[in-house]
Structure 1
Amino acid sequence: MPEMQMRVSDEDRERATGQLQRAFAEGRLTRPELEDRLELALTSKTYGDLLGLITDLPAEAPPADDVVELESKSGHVRRSGDWAVPRRLRVSSKYGSAELDLSQAVIPHPVVDLELDLTYGSAKIIVPEGAVVNVDAFHTEWGQTSVSDVPGRRRPGTLYVVVSGRAKYGGLRVRYPRRRWFTH
């Protein structure tokens, strides 16, 4: 995936080293494992390099100031095309639905946390080919959750989207982009 070959910043390296140090403090890594991974994290060049060091650890909580909120009382919330996806996105709508197409978006993070708060609307999420989506923390009272052929278990080197929240009278659909067939 192109996102995994994108070059990381010093801030990305610092975030990964913080996650490794927390894992060591929690007893998840031994001192030699920590030292090896810290050395690799500090010399990582791409997101794929960094993700390989932290994939087997619990995801870090994004900083509170790295949250984007999209709200609507009665309209629909839609994002598609070339848009920047934040690490954490909250979408809320009382009477409208949400449609988030990530398939052509710029996603520089290996993990995206998406929180939905929909009362009477539904949500549709389209993810790039190969992405993984975990919907275990999403609940609906009167609708259904439908995930079409998109795996839910985190895999190294792939975009991992975690969907949480609720839809009281609506549901959630997650899928890859539709394939277009061209005829000559």
Structure 2
Amino acid sequence: MTDDAVPDLRASDTDRERVAEVLRDALAEGRLDMAEFEERLEATYQARTYGELAPITRDLPVSDVAAPPAVSLRKGPQPAGSWAGRIVGGEGTSTWAVAVMSGFQRKGRWTVPRRFTCFAFWGGGELDLREANFADGEVVISCVAIMGGMNIIVPPGVEVDVRGIGIMGGFDDGETGIPGDPGAPRVVVTGFAFWGGVGVERKLTREERKLAKLERKRVREEERRARLERRQARDEERRARRELHGGDLHGDREDRRGHLGH
């Protein structure tokens, strides 16, 4: 980790794997024992930022692990991985979307405006906010769905407030009331649904799903290693018992031979 790196910049799966490789090398070289290795490996896969990764290998000989580009925290845009860096101000990438017997989609890196309006008639649309930036700390998404549907995907940590009205249709308000992370944006979903519906769901990003998969893999490896260690311990115990009993029997035979000789 370089001294001018931004500690709040989000780390990638590749960055975490680089740190994990350094830890494996340190274990093989005897610089870390198994307990230290497991503790640091767990911290590696749980790390979200470069600032959390840096201390893990600070006392190990490594030249270039997870070094991000130097970015100022006071000038220009904030790191895209932090909530502060995702509330960028200004105008949105687009302010409306329409689907008439068709569909629309907004996903990936885009900026949600302070107010976004979407309309669907015999069609549907999807707004994916998981990787989006936000023009303000609170954005309003107004949806009108007539014999159609819309789906809004928000990342974990974002507060959602659903206020829409449905007639022979509905607005999914299952995500309403869940507290957001400090500094996270607030998404207000409002509008009208007639013979249609508007759904709101919370999903992890692709990177977070990969991290969860790596964590499950790490847990399985630890369980497998623990089972192997228990099996080895049982084998050692049985071997010790056989040697002990074999030694006792040999000693008894020698004693009996001595008594007969007398």
Asked if Structure 1 and Structure 2 have the same fold, meaning a TM-score greater than 0.5 normalized by the shorter chain, the answer is: yes
Which of 74, 93, 114 lines up with 1:87 in the alignment? 114
Instruction: Please give the per-residue CA displacement for 1:16-37, whole angstroms capped at 9, x wherever unaligned.
Output: xxxxxxxxxxxxxxxxxxxxxx
Q: Please name the residue that 2:96 is paired with.
A: 69
Kept in 2: contact 1:90–1:114 (CA 8 A): yes
Which of 186, 189, 199 lines up with 1:163 in the alignment? 189
Give 2:84's aligned amino acid: M
CA distance in 2, matches of 1:72, 1:6: 28
Tell me if 1:129 matches 2:156: yes
CA distance in 2, matches of 1:7, 1:169: 35
CA distance in 2, matches of 1:7, 1:141: 34
Instruction: Please give the per-residue CA displacement for 1:39-87, whole angstroms capped at 9, x wherever unaligned.
Output: xxxxxxxxxxxxxxxxxxxxxxxx9x99812112111121111122111
CA distance in 2, matches of 1:129, 1:85: 17
Aligned length: 130
CA distance in 2, matches of 1:111, 1:154: 12
**Alpha-carbon shift at residue 177 of structure 1 (Å):** 0.8
Q: Please name the residue that 1:3 is paired with.
A: 83
CA distance in 2, matches of 1:7, 1:116: 22
**Alpha-carbon shift at residue 146 of structure 1 (Å):** 2.3
Give the alignment's TM-score, normalised by structure 1: 0.59
**Alpha-carbon shift at residue 156 of structure 1 (Å):** 5.6
CA distance in 1, matches of 2:87, 2:169: 41
Kept in 2: contact 1:3–1:107 (CA 8 A): no
CA distance in 2, matches of 1:6, 1:102: 11
Change (3 A) 1:108 1:2: farther
Give 2:105's aligned amino acid: R
Tell me if 1:172 matches 2:198: yes
Which of 104, 108, 127 lines up with 1:100 in the alignment? 127
The structure in which a higher percent of residues are strand is 1
Change (3 A) 1:75 1:2: same
**Alpha-carbon shift at residue 135 of structure 1 (Å):** 0.9
Change (3 A) 1:66 1:87: farther
CA distance in 1, matches of 2:173, 2:195: 18
Give 2:195's aligned amino acid: Y
| Structure whose alpha-carbon radius of gyration is higher | 2
Q: Secondary structure at the match of 1:4?
A: helix
Kept in 2: contact 1:73–1:93 (CA 8 A): yes
Give 1:169's aligned amino acid: W
Kept in 1: contact 2:152–2:201 (CA 8 A): yes
**Alpha-carbon shift at residue 110 of structure 1 (Å):** 0.5
CA distance in 2, matches of 1:155, 1:104: 16
**Alpha-carbon shift at residue 113 of structure 1 (Å):** 0.9
CA distance in 1, matches of 2:125, 2:171: 14
Change (3 A) 1:156 1:67: same
RMSD value, Cα = 3.1
Q: Please name the residue that 1:116 is paired with.
A: 143
Q: Please name the residue that 2:64 is paired with.
A: none
Kept in 1: contact 2:88–2:134 (CA 8 A): no
